[in-house]
């Protein structure tokens, strides 16, 4: 499953905003939703707020950003990791969503690692 990104003017939305990954290793992928304005991924395309998030380095190929999620969560609840997408509009504007200076973690997109 892909995580879909929609860019409208300079507004960004992520679907689903809170992706739940099964236990084990899987590849997470982000790409533009069909009705989105065109954009390119910046470098890096995805960053996680937790520097110890169990995610491999992100890469971009054919307009899709991806990274490996090594979900070894053995807890009783989902382990959520908030992240940011970095885009370049067709007009050359660099957009980070949500903005890095946004201190509110509520409402940020997350990858939740489901426990075993």
Give residue-wise pLDDT tens across range 17-76. 999 999 999 999 999 999 999 999 999 999 999 999 999 999 999 999 999 999 999 999
**pLDDT level of residue 105 (50, 70, 90 thresholds):** low
**pLDDT level of residue 102 (50, 70, 90 thresholds):** confident
All domains of the chain, ordered by start, with CATH? 2-113 (2.60.40.420)
Those residues whose C-beta lies under 8 Å from the C-beta of residue 37, and which sit 6 or more positions away, are: 7, 8, 9, 89, 90
């Amino acid at each position: 499953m892909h995580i879909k990104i929609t860019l409208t003017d300079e507004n960004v939305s992520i679907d689903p905003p809170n992706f739940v990954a099964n236990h084990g290793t899987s590849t997470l992928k982000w790409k533009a939703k069909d009705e989105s304005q065109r954009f390119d991924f910046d470098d890096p395309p995805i960053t996680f707020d937790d520097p110890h998030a169990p995610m491999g380095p992100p890469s971009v190929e054919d307009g899709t950003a991806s990274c490996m999620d090594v979900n070894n969560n053995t807890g009783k609840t989902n382990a959520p990791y908030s992240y940011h997408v970095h885009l370049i509009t067709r007009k050359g504007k660099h957009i980070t969503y949500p903005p890095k200076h946004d201190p509110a973690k509520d409402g940020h997109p997350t990858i939740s690692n489901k426990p075993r």
